[in-house]
A = this chain, B = another copy of it.
Amino acid sequence: MNEAMKNVLQQVFKHPADLRLASRSGQFTLPTAGHAAGFIQANLMIVPKDQAFDFLLFCQRNPKPCPLVEVLAPGQLEPACAPGANLATDLPGYRVYRDGVLVEERSDISALWQTDFVTFLIGCSFSFESAVIEEGVPLRHVALGCNVAMYRTNLACVPSGPFQGNMVVSMRPVKSRDVAKVVEVSSRFALAHGAPLHVGNPQELGIHDLSKPDYGDFVPVMPDEVPVFWACGVTPQSIAQSSRLSFCITHAPGKMFVTDRRG
């Protein structure tokens, strides 16, 4: 079955465990936005134990891009936020970085797993999207079934050990009349990056062409809309690249781990 057919046949998963099982069996390989409304979705970052303190401290120092949902003990694969889940198989896609270079995208990382791997689950802005939509504010990338647009910025993260680099943001076009409402709703979701970092003027963030996102899919901004930017959990992937981290595994952009925890 090709990607287009999968898209046509795609169902919306209501229950996190159903989406995880479909990911585990390889049947679901798409971005998770719009699925399992009301449940916390998480970005994934796996580093060897000898880098785990520095990365945990990086998250503590940069809570907007890296709000921690859960950090697992070394070698552990079943998180408390989703009993029965397996973090090596239950995401729709993974990325493997070596020396800061993306070397592989795969749907299962069981074969790479080491007992000294420490897994970080980092909050994701998808979690507040269903709340925003429920308030009557449409989100175009969800309506179109595509991935949210993400951009590298010129905003430096607070460094920790070898982890240093700039923040990545996600962008959603919002009608001017809805901007305040979107700020209000998202600010209640601290684990989902909270309130926006920035409203309007992408050039101030060092983003010169909105039509060319660094990750995800371009979503046009209409004349009555303003681009609204949130800190993004893809930041650790960008940091892995700029820090030339010797090894890490992350989720593939937009393809999150869906927890059983309500946001």
Contact = CB atoms under 8 A, between A and B. Distances in A.
A61 B118 CA distance: 15
A160 B60 contact: no
A81 to B, nearest CB: 12
Contacts of A60: 56, 60, 68, 71
A52 interface: yes
A24 to B, nearest CB: 27
Contacts of A56: 53, 56-57, 60
Give the size range of A's interface with the partner: 10 to 19
A192 B68 CA distance: 19
A30 to B, nearest CB: 31
A73 interface: yes
A49 interface: yes
Interface of A: 49, 52-53, 56-57, 60-61, 68, 71, 73, 118, 160-161
Given A53-B56, A60-B60, 14 more contacts: A49-B53, A52-B53, A53-B53, A53-B118, A56-B56, A56-B57, A56-B60, A57-B71, A57-B73, A60-B68, A60-B71, A61-B71, A73-B160, A73-B161
**Chain B CB within 10 Å — which of A53, A61, A68, A71 has the most?**
A53
A118 B56 CA distance: 13
A168 B212 CA distance: 52
A100 to B, nearest CB: 21
A53 B50 CA distance: 9
A73 B60 CA distance: 12
Contacts of A49: 53
